[in-house]
Amino acid sequence: MDTDLARAWVRAIAAAVGRHKDHLTQLDSAIGDADHGTNMDRGFTAAAVAVAAAPAGTTVGGVLTLTGTTLIASIGGAAGPLYGGAFRAVGKELAGPVAAPEAFAAALAAGLESIQRLGTAAPGDKTMIDAYAPAVTAFTGAARAGADFATSAGAAADAAEAGMRATIPLQARKGRASYLGVRSTGHQDPGATSTALIFRALSEVTTG
C-alpha cells in the first residue's frame, strides 16, 4: 500500500458507508441507539475530506493516523474512539512510504489491540471485533504465505463478512446491545457490519 492507495481506501470507505448508512442505522435500531449509520457516515465523510487535503509527502501511516484523528473528532458515542483509535494504531505502525503486506498485517493487529483495550470485548461478544479479528487473521495468514496485497485484502474482506454474518445468532455481551440480553439474538451486529464494509473497501481499491 502506498499513500495514494491509502487515500483511495478512505474515500472508498466513505462511499460504502454512505451507500449503506440506512442499513447500518436499521441494524442499530434493533439492538442499539439507531445512530450508527449516521455517525459512521459523518465520520468517514470528514475523514475523506481531511486526507484529500493532506499535504504531498504524507506517508501511508500519516494518512491513516489522520483518518483516525478525524473519526475521533467526528463520530459520536463509543464508535469514535473505537474506530478512530484503531486507525490511529494502524497508522502509527506504518512509518515508510509503502506498506508491504506483512507490515500492514502487523499494523492491523495493532488496530485490533486498540479496539480490545478500549472496548474490553472478545470474539463472540457480538461487536465489531467479530468481523475485525478474523479479517486480521486472514490477512496475516495470506501475507505470511507470500500472497500479494490484493489477495491478502480479499481474504480479509471475505473473513470479515463471514464474521459479520456469524453475529446474527449471538447474544451480545458488550455495548448497548448487551442490555437486551437474549433479545439481542437474531440480529446482525451493526459494528461488525460497518467493519466488514471497511475491509471490503480495502479489497476493492487494491484490485482496481
CA 27 to chain centre: 17
pLDDT for 181 equals 84
Q: What is the pTM of this model?
A: 0.96
CA 117 to chain centre: 16
Q: How far apart are CA 25 and CA 37, in angstroms?
A: 5
Cβ distance 101 to 84 under 8 Å?
no
3-class SS of residue 132: helix
pLDDT for 180 equals 82
Residue-range definition of the domain harbouring residue 72: 3-206
**First-last CA distance in the chain:** 13
pLDDT for 129 equals 97
Those residues of the chain that have pLDDT short of 70 are none
Cβ distance 162 to 134 under 8 Å?
yes
Cβ distance 112 to 129 under 8 Å?
yes
Q: How far apart are CA 110 and CA 92, in angstroms?
A: 9
Number of domains in the chain: 1
CA 57 to chain centre: 25
Q: How far apart are CA 47 and CA 50, in angstroms?
A: 5
Length of the chain, in residues: 208
Q: Which of 118, 106, 105, 109 is nearest to 174 (CA)?
A: 118
Cβ distance 52 to 7 under 8 Å?
yes
pLDDT for 77 equals 80
CATH number of residue 19's parent domain = 1.25.40.340
Q: How far apart are CA 78 and CA 189, in angstroms?
A: 15
pLDDT for 56 equals 83
